[in-house]
Structure 1
Amino acid sequence: MTSRPIRPARALLILAAALPVAACGSQVDRLKQVGQAPPLSAIENPTASPGYRPVQMPMPVTEPVSYAPNSLWQSGARTFFKDQRARSVGDILTVKVRITDKAELENSTERTRTSSDSLGVQGVIGTQLLKILPDGTSADALVSSEGDMSARGTGTVNRAEAVTTTVAAVVTQTLPNGNLVIEGRQEVRINFEVRELIVAGVVRPEDIASDNTIDSAKIAEARISYGGRGQITDVQQPRYGQQVLDIILPF
Protein backbone atom coordinates (compact mmCIF):
# COMPACT_ATOMS: atom_id res chain seq x y z
CA MET A 1 0.00 0.00 0.00
CA THR A 2 1.49 3.32 -1.08
CA SER A 3 0.77 6.57 0.69
CA ARG A 4 -0.18 9.60 -1.31
CA PRO A 5 1.98 12.69 -0.87
CA ILE A 6 0.37 15.58 0.97
CA ARG A 7 -0.15 18.53 -1.29
CA PRO A 8 0.94 21.99 -0.09
CA ALA A 9 -2.63 23.28 -0.04
CA ARG A 10 -3.77 20.30 2.02
CA ALA A 11 -0.84 20.74 4.42
CA LEU A 12 -1.81 24.37 4.98
CA LEU A 13 -5.39 23.34 5.76
CA ILE A 14 -4.18 20.75 8.30
CA LEU A 15 -1.89 23.33 9.93
CA ALA A 16 -4.68 25.93 10.05
CA ALA A 17 -6.96 23.39 11.72
CA ALA A 18 -4.32 22.38 14.27
CA LEU A 19 -3.43 25.91 15.37
CA PRO A 20 -6.81 26.70 17.01
CA VAL A 21 -6.66 23.37 18.88
CA ALA A 22 -3.20 24.17 20.27
CA ALA A 23 -4.25 27.71 21.14
CA CYS A 24 -7.39 26.40 22.80
CA GLY A 25 -5.30 24.08 24.98
CA SER A 26 -3.13 26.95 26.18
CA GLN A 27 -6.20 29.08 26.88
CA VAL A 28 -7.71 26.29 28.97
CA ASP A 29 -4.52 26.08 31.02
CA ARG A 30 -4.63 29.83 31.61
CA LEU A 31 -8.28 29.64 32.70
CA LYS A 32 -7.37 26.98 35.26
CA GLN A 33 -4.87 29.39 36.83
CA VAL A 34 -7.29 32.28 37.33
CA GLY A 35 -6.79 33.71 40.82
CA GLN A 36 -3.65 31.65 41.41
CA ALA A 37 0.02 32.46 41.20
CA PRO A 38 1.87 31.07 38.15
CA PRO A 39 3.35 27.68 39.06
CA LEU A 40 7.11 27.27 39.13
CA SER A 41 8.86 24.70 37.00
CA ALA A 42 10.01 21.54 38.69
CA ILE A 43 13.69 21.04 39.36
CA GLU A 44 15.05 18.70 36.74
CA ASN A 45 18.38 17.26 35.75
CA PRO A 46 19.82 19.80 33.26
CA THR A 47 21.95 17.13 31.57
CA ALA A 48 18.76 15.23 30.66
CA SER A 49 17.09 18.21 28.99
CA PRO A 50 16.72 18.12 25.19
CA GLY A 51 19.50 19.98 23.41
CA TYR A 52 21.93 19.78 26.34
CA ARG A 53 25.58 20.07 25.36
CA PRO A 54 28.47 19.82 27.82
CA VAL A 55 30.54 22.99 28.21
CA GLN A 56 34.06 22.87 26.85
CA MET A 57 36.36 25.71 27.93
CA PRO A 58 40.12 26.25 27.70
CA MET A 59 41.77 24.73 30.75
CA PRO A 60 45.17 25.55 32.28
CA VAL A 61 48.11 23.24 31.97
CA THR A 62 48.55 21.12 35.07
CA GLU A 63 51.53 22.39 37.07
CA PRO A 64 53.49 19.93 39.15
CA VAL A 65 53.36 20.66 42.85
CA SER A 66 56.77 21.26 44.37
CA TYR A 67 57.54 21.43 48.06
CA ALA A 68 60.46 23.31 49.54
CA PRO A 69 61.60 22.24 52.98
CA ASN A 70 61.44 24.89 55.71
CA SER A 71 59.58 27.34 53.39
CA LEU A 72 56.24 29.07 53.97
CA TRP A 73 55.81 30.12 50.33
CA GLN A 74 53.38 28.25 48.11
CA SER A 75 54.54 27.13 44.70
CA GLY A 76 53.12 29.38 41.94
CA ALA A 77 51.85 32.02 44.37
CA ARG A 78 52.63 35.71 43.77
CA THR A 79 52.34 36.67 47.43
CA PHE A 80 52.57 34.99 50.81
CA PHE A 81 48.96 33.91 50.47
CA LYS A 82 47.41 32.53 47.29
CA ASP A 83 46.52 35.24 44.80
CA GLN A 84 42.83 35.05 43.85
CA ARG A 85 43.23 37.15 40.72
CA ALA A 86 42.94 35.56 37.29
CA ARG A 87 46.30 34.60 35.83
CA SER A 88 45.92 31.27 34.00
CA VAL A 89 43.87 29.87 31.14
CA GLY A 90 40.39 29.01 32.37
CA ASP A 91 40.37 31.55 35.23
CA ILE A 92 37.42 33.94 35.51
CA LEU A 93 37.52 37.69 36.16
CA THR A 94 34.85 40.39 36.23
CA VAL A 95 34.89 43.16 33.63
CA LYS A 96 33.33 46.49 34.57
CA VAL A 97 31.96 47.92 31.34
CA ARG A 98 31.74 51.71 31.46
CA ILE A 99 31.15 53.38 28.11
CA THR A 100 30.28 57.07 27.89
CA ASP A 101 30.40 58.29 24.32
CA LYS A 102 29.29 61.71 23.11
CA ALA A 103 30.00 63.21 19.70
CA GLU A 104 28.73 66.31 17.90
CA LEU A 105 29.86 66.77 14.30
CA GLU A 106 28.65 69.13 11.60
CA ASN A 107 29.88 69.21 8.03
CA SER A 108 28.85 71.33 5.04
CA THR A 109 30.24 71.17 1.48
CA GLU A 110 29.39 73.11 -1.65
CA ARG A 111 30.85 72.58 -5.12
CA THR A 112 30.23 74.54 -8.35
CA ARG A 113 31.83 74.17 -11.78
CA THR A 114 31.15 76.04 -15.03
CA SER A 115 32.85 75.18 -18.33
CA SER A 116 32.61 76.52 -21.89
CA ASP A 117 34.45 75.22 -24.99
CA SER A 118 34.36 76.26 -28.66
CA LEU A 119 36.17 75.05 -31.79
CA GLY A 120 36.54 76.84 -35.14
CA VAL A 121 38.43 76.12 -38.35
CA GLN A 122 39.77 78.86 -40.66
CA GLY A 123 41.53 78.89 -44.01
CA VAL A 124 41.13 76.38 -46.80
CA ILE A 125 39.88 73.62 -44.55
CA GLY A 126 37.17 75.86 -43.12
CA THR A 127 36.07 76.92 -46.60
CA GLN A 128 35.73 73.32 -47.75
CA LEU A 129 33.80 72.35 -44.63
CA LEU A 130 31.30 75.17 -45.18
CA LYS A 131 30.45 73.73 -48.59
CA ILE A 132 29.19 70.46 -47.11
CA LEU A 133 27.72 71.86 -43.86
CA PRO A 134 24.19 73.32 -43.65
CA ASP A 135 23.61 76.96 -44.52
CA GLY A 136 24.19 79.46 -41.75
CA THR A 137 27.15 77.53 -40.29
CA SER A 138 30.05 79.70 -39.14
CA ALA A 139 33.64 78.50 -39.43
CA ASP A 140 34.52 80.34 -36.23
CA ALA A 141 32.22 78.15 -34.13
CA LEU A 142 31.90 74.72 -35.66
CA VAL A 143 31.81 73.03 -32.25
CA SER A 144 30.76 74.60 -28.94
CA SER A 145 29.82 73.18 -25.56
CA GLU A 146 28.76 74.60 -22.22
CA GLY A 147 28.42 72.91 -18.87
CA ASP A 148 27.22 73.95 -15.45
CA MET A 149 27.33 71.66 -12.40
CA SER A 150 26.65 72.35 -8.74
CA ALA A 151 26.45 70.14 -5.67
CA ARG A 152 25.71 70.92 -2.06
CA GLY A 153 25.69 68.64 0.97
CA THR A 154 25.22 69.02 4.70
CA GLY A 155 25.57 66.50 7.50
CA THR A 156 25.09 66.56 11.25
CA VAL A 157 25.92 63.91 13.86
CA ASN A 158 24.71 64.23 17.44
CA ARG A 159 25.26 61.02 19.39
CA ALA A 160 25.28 60.23 23.10
CA GLU A 161 25.64 56.71 24.48
CA ALA A 162 26.14 55.39 28.00
CA VAL A 163 26.51 51.73 29.01
CA THR A 164 27.35 50.64 32.55
CA THR A 165 27.28 46.95 33.43
CA THR A 166 29.44 44.02 34.51
CA VAL A 167 30.19 40.71 32.84
CA ALA A 168 32.32 37.73 33.79
CA ALA A 169 35.05 36.81 31.31
CA VAL A 170 37.24 33.75 30.93
CA VAL A 171 40.98 33.77 30.26
CA THR A 172 41.34 31.95 26.94
CA GLN A 173 45.03 32.46 26.23
CA THR A 174 48.26 33.55 27.90
CA LEU A 175 50.60 35.52 25.63
CA PRO A 176 54.40 35.11 25.77
CA ASN A 177 54.80 38.48 27.53
CA GLY A 178 52.36 37.47 30.27
CA ASN A 179 49.31 39.37 29.05
CA LEU A 180 45.95 37.61 29.14
CA VAL A 181 43.42 37.21 26.35
CA ILE A 182 39.90 37.27 27.76
CA GLU A 183 36.43 36.76 26.36
CA GLY A 184 33.06 36.95 28.04
CA ARG A 185 29.49 36.56 26.84
CA GLN A 186 26.25 37.24 28.67
CA GLU A 187 22.73 36.60 27.43
CA VAL A 188 19.55 37.66 29.20
CA ARG A 189 16.14 36.71 27.85
CA ILE A 190 13.10 38.75 28.87
CA ASN A 191 9.87 37.53 27.33
CA PHE A 192 10.66 37.24 23.60
CA GLU A 193 13.74 39.49 23.53
CA VAL A 194 17.35 38.42 24.16
CA ARG A 195 19.92 40.99 25.28
CA GLU A 196 23.50 39.99 24.51
CA LEU A 197 26.73 41.48 25.88
CA ILE A 198 30.10 40.41 24.48
CA VAL A 199 33.49 41.54 25.82
CA ALA A 200 36.87 40.46 24.44
CA GLY A 201 40.41 41.82 24.42
CA VAL A 202 43.87 41.70 25.98
CA VAL A 203 44.61 42.74 29.58
CA ARG A 204 47.69 43.05 31.75
CA PRO A 205 47.70 41.02 34.96
CA GLU A 206 48.92 44.15 36.79
CA ASP A 207 45.71 45.98 35.83
CA ILE A 208 43.49 43.39 37.52
CA ALA A 209 42.35 44.75 40.89
CA SER A 210 42.64 42.84 44.14
CA ASP A 211 38.93 41.93 43.95
CA ASN A 212 39.56 40.24 40.57
CA THR A 213 37.90 43.00 38.53
CA ILE A 214 39.16 45.15 35.67
CA ASP A 215 37.79 48.28 34.04
CA SER A 216 36.90 48.10 30.35
CA ALA A 217 39.08 51.13 29.65
CA LYS A 218 42.17 49.02 30.49
CA ILE A 219 41.41 46.36 27.89
CA ALA A 220 43.62 46.53 24.80
CA GLU A 221 42.08 45.63 21.43
CA ALA A 222 38.74 45.74 23.21
CA ARG A 223 35.73 44.36 21.39
CA ILE A 224 32.53 45.25 23.22
CA SER A 225 29.12 44.51 21.74
CA TYR A 226 25.78 45.21 23.39
CA GLY A 227 22.65 44.47 21.42
CA GLY A 228 19.65 42.25 21.21
CA ARG A 229 17.62 39.95 19.07
CA GLY A 230 13.99 38.97 19.14
CA GLN A 231 10.59 40.34 18.27
CA ILE A 232 11.30 43.96 19.26
CA THR A 233 14.61 44.10 17.39
CA ASP A 234 13.01 42.46 14.36
CA VAL A 235 10.29 45.11 14.22
CA GLN A 236 12.82 47.94 14.50
CA GLN A 237 14.82 46.67 11.51
CA PRO A 238 13.73 47.38 7.91
CA ARG A 239 12.58 44.41 5.88
CA TYR A 240 15.16 42.36 3.95
CA GLY A 241 13.80 43.55 0.62
CA GLN A 242 14.24 47.17 1.63
CA GLN A 243 17.79 46.53 2.84
CA VAL A 244 18.67 44.88 -0.48
CA LEU A 245 17.23 47.79 -2.44
CA ASP A 246 19.18 50.28 -0.33
CA ILE A 247 22.38 48.45 -1.31
CA ILE A 248 21.86 47.93 -5.04
CA LEU A 249 19.95 51.10 -6.01
CA PRO A 250 22.39 53.83 -7.14
CA PHE A 251 19.95 56.68 -6.47
Structure 2
Amino acid sequence: MRLHSLSLIDFPLIHQAFRLAFSDYLHAGQPQTDERAVAPGADAQLRAPAAPMQHGGQLFFVHLHGLHCDEAGPIGYCVATGVTPDARRQGLLQAMAAAVSRRLASRGIQRQQLEVISDNAAAMAAYLKLGFRPRRRLDCYRIEHALAVDAAPGWRCEAADRSQWPRWPLHSEPAVPNSRDSLERARPPLLLMTAKQNGDLLGYALYSAAGDVAELAVAPPHRRRGVARSLLAAVQRDTAAPALAISNLDADDEAGAGLLRSCGARLWLSQWEMRRP
Protein backbone atom coordinates (compact mmCIF):
# COMPACT_ATOMS: atom_id res chain seq x y z
CA MET A 1 0.00 0.00 0.00
CA ARG A 2 1.26 3.45 -0.93
CA LEU A 3 -0.08 6.81 0.28
CA HIS A 4 -0.49 9.60 -2.25
CA SER A 5 -1.83 13.13 -2.18
CA LEU A 6 -5.17 13.30 -3.98
CA SER A 7 -3.83 16.33 -5.83
CA LEU A 8 -1.58 13.90 -7.72
CA ILE A 9 -4.46 11.69 -8.87
CA ASP A 10 -6.87 12.35 -11.75
CA PHE A 11 -10.34 13.28 -10.52
CA PRO A 12 -12.20 10.60 -12.57
CA LEU A 13 -10.21 7.93 -10.69
CA ILE A 14 -11.12 9.51 -7.33
CA HIS A 15 -14.77 9.74 -8.36
CA GLN A 16 -14.81 6.09 -9.46
CA ALA A 17 -13.37 5.01 -6.10
CA PHE A 18 -16.00 7.02 -4.22
CA ARG A 19 -18.83 5.54 -6.25
CA LEU A 20 -17.61 2.04 -5.45
CA ALA A 21 -16.96 2.83 -1.78
CA PHE A 22 -20.45 4.24 -1.21
CA SER A 23 -22.36 2.02 -3.62
CA ASP A 24 -23.95 0.19 -0.67
CA TYR A 25 -25.63 3.36 0.58
CA LEU A 26 -25.80 6.17 -1.91
CA HIS A 27 -26.19 6.77 -5.62
CA ALA A 28 -24.50 10.14 -6.08
CA GLY A 29 -23.87 12.00 -9.31
CA GLN A 30 -20.44 13.32 -10.18
CA PRO A 31 -19.70 16.70 -8.56
CA GLN A 32 -19.23 19.60 -10.96
CA THR A 33 -15.60 20.03 -9.92
CA ASP A 34 -13.13 18.32 -7.65
CA GLU A 35 -13.30 21.39 -5.37
CA ARG A 36 -16.97 20.70 -4.67
CA ALA A 37 -16.09 17.25 -3.35
CA VAL A 38 -13.82 18.74 -0.70
CA ALA A 39 -15.13 22.24 -0.05
CA PRO A 40 -17.47 21.79 2.95
CA GLY A 41 -15.50 22.52 6.09
CA ALA A 42 -12.13 22.23 4.36
CA ASP A 43 -9.25 24.64 4.33
CA ALA A 44 -6.59 25.00 1.67
CA GLN A 45 -3.79 23.40 3.71
CA LEU A 46 -5.75 20.18 4.22
CA ARG A 47 -7.47 19.82 0.86
CA ALA A 48 -5.08 17.18 -0.48
CA PRO A 49 -4.95 14.44 2.17
CA ALA A 50 -3.25 11.10 1.67
CA ALA A 51 -4.88 8.31 -0.30
CA PRO A 52 -3.71 4.68 -0.60
CA MET A 53 -3.39 3.05 -4.02
CA GLN A 54 -2.99 -0.54 -5.15
CA HIS A 55 0.18 -1.42 -6.98
CA GLY A 56 -1.75 -1.82 -10.21
CA GLY A 57 -2.79 1.82 -10.11
CA GLN A 58 -6.35 1.23 -8.86
CA LEU A 59 -7.46 3.62 -6.14
CA PHE A 60 -9.22 1.61 -3.45
CA PHE A 61 -9.31 4.00 -0.47
CA VAL A 62 -9.88 7.75 -0.39
CA HIS A 63 -9.95 10.08 2.58
CA LEU A 64 -10.86 13.77 2.43
CA HIS A 65 -10.08 15.82 5.52
CA GLY A 66 -10.73 19.46 6.31
CA LEU A 67 -10.30 21.95 9.12
CA HIS A 68 -13.24 23.42 11.01
CA CYS A 69 -13.31 25.85 13.93
CA ASP A 70 -15.89 25.91 16.69
CA GLU A 71 -16.08 27.72 20.01
CA ALA A 72 -13.34 25.48 21.42
CA GLY A 73 -10.90 26.05 18.55
CA PRO A 74 -9.78 24.07 15.48
CA ILE A 75 -10.99 20.56 14.86
CA GLY A 76 -10.07 18.07 12.14
CA TYR A 77 -13.16 17.25 10.13
CA CYS A 78 -13.43 14.11 8.02
CA VAL A 79 -15.37 15.19 4.93
CA ALA A 80 -15.53 11.65 3.55
CA THR A 81 -13.80 8.29 3.87
CA GLY A 82 -14.42 5.42 1.52
CA VAL A 83 -13.04 1.91 1.01
CA THR A 84 -14.05 -0.06 -2.08
CA PRO A 85 -15.84 -3.35 -1.24
CA ASP A 86 -13.03 -5.67 -2.33
CA ALA A 87 -10.49 -3.88 -0.09
CA ARG A 88 -12.40 -3.86 3.19
CA ARG A 89 -11.38 -5.60 6.43
CA GLN A 90 -7.68 -5.13 5.70
CA GLY A 91 -6.91 -2.47 8.33
CA LEU A 92 -6.93 0.45 5.86
CA LEU A 93 -9.15 2.66 8.02
CA GLN A 94 -6.91 2.20 11.04
CA ALA A 95 -3.80 2.97 9.01
CA MET A 96 -5.34 6.10 7.51
CA ALA A 97 -6.71 7.26 10.88
CA ALA A 98 -3.25 7.02 12.39
CA ALA A 99 -1.71 8.97 9.49
CA VAL A 100 -4.35 11.70 9.72
CA SER A 101 -3.98 11.95 13.50
CA ARG A 102 -0.22 12.44 13.13
CA ARG A 103 -0.76 15.10 10.48
CA LEU A 104 -3.30 16.99 12.59
CA ALA A 105 -1.16 16.68 15.73
CA SER A 106 1.75 18.27 13.85
CA ARG A 107 -0.47 21.36 13.59
CA GLY A 108 -1.51 21.20 17.23
CA ILE A 109 -4.98 19.77 16.49
CA GLN A 110 -6.12 16.92 18.71
CA ARG A 111 -9.90 16.85 18.23
CA GLN A 112 -11.52 15.15 15.24
CA GLN A 113 -15.12 14.92 14.01
CA LEU A 114 -17.01 13.00 11.35
CA GLU A 115 -20.41 11.55 10.44
CA VAL A 116 -21.28 7.87 10.01
CA ILE A 117 -24.41 6.57 8.29
CA SER A 118 -26.56 5.17 11.10
CA ASP A 119 -27.10 1.71 9.59
CA ASN A 120 -23.43 1.23 8.71
CA ALA A 121 -22.70 -0.99 11.73
CA ALA A 122 -19.21 -1.93 10.53
CA ALA A 123 -18.09 1.70 10.17
CA MET A 124 -19.65 2.62 13.52
CA ALA A 125 -17.79 -0.21 15.24
CA ALA A 126 -14.52 0.78 13.56
CA TYR A 127 -14.78 4.41 14.64
CA LEU A 128 -15.77 3.45 18.18
CA LYS A 129 -12.61 1.33 18.29
CA LEU A 130 -10.62 4.37 17.13
CA GLY A 131 -11.93 6.41 20.06
CA PHE A 132 -14.77 8.33 18.38
CA ARG A 133 -18.00 8.73 20.36
CA PRO A 134 -21.50 9.63 19.11
CA ARG A 135 -22.67 13.18 19.88
CA ARG A 136 -26.08 13.34 18.18
CA ARG A 137 -28.10 11.95 15.29
CA LEU A 138 -28.50 14.02 12.13
CA ASP A 139 -31.45 13.34 9.82
CA CYS A 140 -31.71 13.99 6.08
CA TYR A 141 -35.04 14.58 4.31
CA ARG A 142 -36.25 14.82 0.73
CA ILE A 143 -39.36 16.49 -0.68
CA GLU A 144 -40.13 14.79 -3.98
CA HIS A 145 -43.50 16.33 -4.88
CA ALA A 146 -44.67 19.83 -5.71
CA LEU A 147 -45.75 21.77 -2.64
CA ALA A 148 -49.20 23.36 -2.72
CA VAL A 149 -49.46 26.77 -1.05
CA ASP A 150 -52.07 29.47 -0.59
CA ALA A 151 -52.24 31.53 -3.78
CA ALA A 152 -52.46 34.74 -1.72
CA PRO A 153 -50.69 34.08 1.59
CA GLY A 154 -50.22 37.73 2.52
CA TRP A 155 -46.46 37.75 1.95
CA ARG A 156 -44.19 37.60 -1.05
CA CYS A 157 -41.36 35.14 -1.66
CA GLU A 158 -38.63 36.37 -3.96
CA ALA A 159 -34.97 35.79 -4.71
CA ALA A 160 -32.57 38.20 -3.03
CA ASP A 161 -28.88 38.95 -3.23
CA ARG A 162 -26.91 36.48 -1.08
CA SER A 163 -25.10 39.41 0.55
CA GLN A 164 -28.41 40.07 2.37
CA TRP A 165 -28.32 36.67 4.14
CA PRO A 166 -29.71 37.58 7.61
CA ARG A 167 -27.92 34.86 9.65
CA TRP A 168 -30.60 34.67 12.32
CA PRO A 169 -29.85 32.61 15.46
CA LEU A 170 -30.25 28.90 14.80
CA HIS A 171 -32.27 26.37 16.79
CA SER A 172 -29.24 24.12 17.29
CA GLU A 173 -25.56 23.90 16.42
CA PRO A 174 -25.30 23.19 12.69
CA ALA A 175 -23.38 20.17 11.45
CA VAL A 176 -20.02 21.07 9.92
CA PRO A 177 -21.26 20.90 6.29
CA ASN A 178 -24.08 23.28 7.29
CA SER A 179 -21.96 25.62 9.40
CA ARG A 180 -21.93 29.18 8.22
CA ASP A 181 -18.24 29.24 7.36
CA SER A 182 -18.79 26.14 5.20
CA LEU A 183 -21.81 27.72 3.50
CA GLU A 184 -19.81 30.88 2.81
CA ARG A 185 -17.22 28.69 1.10
CA ALA A 186 -19.70 26.82 -1.10
CA ARG A 187 -19.03 26.89 -4.84
CA PRO A 188 -20.98 27.84 -6.78
CA PRO A 189 -22.30 30.36 -4.22
CA LEU A 190 -25.61 29.53 -2.56
CA LEU A 191 -28.82 31.39 -3.37
CA LEU A 192 -31.16 33.32 -1.06
CA MET A 193 -34.97 33.32 -1.05
CA THR A 194 -36.82 35.71 1.27
CA ALA A 195 -40.42 36.03 2.46
CA LYS A 196 -41.52 39.62 3.13
CA GLN A 197 -44.75 41.33 4.12
CA ASN A 198 -45.05 45.12 3.92
CA GLY A 199 -41.26 45.32 3.77
CA ASP A 200 -40.74 43.20 6.91
CA LEU A 201 -38.62 40.06 6.60
CA LEU A 202 -40.61 37.04 7.80
CA GLY A 203 -38.18 34.30 6.86
CA TYR A 204 -35.58 33.10 4.40
CA ALA A 205 -34.08 30.02 2.77
CA LEU A 206 -30.46 29.55 1.70
CA TYR A 207 -30.15 26.91 -1.01
CA SER A 208 -28.22 25.60 -4.00
CA ALA A 209 -29.31 25.50 -7.61
CA ALA A 210 -29.54 21.70 -7.22
CA GLY A 211 -32.29 22.05 -4.60
CA ASP A 212 -30.22 21.51 -1.43
CA VAL A 213 -31.73 23.69 1.31
CA ALA A 214 -28.84 24.61 3.60
CA GLU A 215 -30.67 26.94 5.99
CA LEU A 216 -34.36 27.69 6.55
CA ALA A 217 -35.51 30.21 9.16
CA VAL A 218 -38.75 31.99 10.09
CA ALA A 219 -39.03 34.79 12.64
CA PRO A 220 -40.76 33.51 15.84
CA PRO A 221 -43.85 35.80 15.55
CA HIS A 222 -44.57 34.42 12.07
CA ARG A 223 -44.15 30.69 12.63
CA ARG A 224 -46.96 28.17 12.02
CA ARG A 225 -48.49 30.46 9.39
CA GLY A 226 -47.14 28.65 6.32
CA VAL A 227 -44.14 30.92 5.70
CA ALA A 228 -41.62 28.05 5.67
CA ARG A 229 -43.79 26.03 3.30
CA SER A 230 -44.07 29.04 0.97
CA LEU A 231 -40.29 29.44 1.00
CA LEU A 232 -39.74 25.78 0.16
CA ALA A 233 -42.29 25.99 -2.66
CA ALA A 234 -40.54 29.11 -3.99
CA VAL A 235 -37.20 27.29 -3.92
CA GLN A 236 -38.82 24.43 -5.87
CA ARG A 237 -40.03 26.83 -8.54
CA ASP A 238 -36.70 28.64 -8.74
CA THR A 239 -34.54 25.53 -9.08
CA ALA A 240 -36.89 23.13 -10.88
CA ALA A 241 -34.95 20.41 -9.03
CA PRO A 242 -36.55 16.93 -9.01
CA ALA A 243 -36.39 16.98 -5.20
CA LEU A 244 -35.54 19.33 -2.36
CA ALA A 245 -32.96 18.00 0.09
CA ILE A 246 -32.77 19.14 3.70
CA SER A 247 -29.74 17.54 5.29
CA ASN A 248 -28.32 17.17 8.80
CA LEU A 249 -31.30 18.25 10.85
CA ASP A 250 -30.62 17.63 14.53
CA ALA A 251 -32.86 14.71 15.52
CA ASP A 252 -33.86 16.65 18.66
CA ASP A 253 -35.31 19.48 16.55
CA GLU A 254 -38.92 18.35 16.82
CA ALA A 255 -40.28 21.58 15.36
CA GLY A 256 -38.09 21.29 12.26
CA ALA A 257 -38.97 17.63 11.77
CA GLY A 258 -42.66 18.38 12.24
CA LEU A 259 -42.52 21.10 9.60
CA LEU A 260 -40.86 18.78 7.10
CA ARG A 261 -43.31 15.97 7.76
CA SER A 262 -46.21 18.41 7.25
CA CYS A 263 -44.69 19.19 3.84
CA GLY A 264 -44.61 15.48 3.00
CA ALA A 265 -40.85 15.18 3.35
CA ARG A 266 -39.39 11.68 3.46
CA LEU A 267 -36.65 10.74 5.92
CA TRP A 268 -34.18 8.97 3.64
CA LEU A 269 -30.95 8.89 5.65
CA SER A 270 -29.76 9.29 9.24
CA GLN A 271 -26.19 9.56 10.41
CA TRP A 272 -24.33 9.87 13.69
CA GLU A 273 -22.08 12.83 14.32
CA MET A 274 -19.03 11.46 16.15
CA ARG A 275 -16.13 13.20 17.84
CA ARG A 276 -12.73 12.25 19.21
CA PRO A 277 -11.61 12.78 21.96
Report the TM-score range of the alignment, normalised by the length of the smaller protein: under 0.3
TM-score, length-scaled by structure 1: 0.18
TM-score, length-scaled by structure 2: 0.17
Q: Bigger relative contact order, structure 1 or 2, given CA contacts below 8 A and separation 6+? A: 2
* Greater fraction helix: 2
* Greater fraction strand: 1
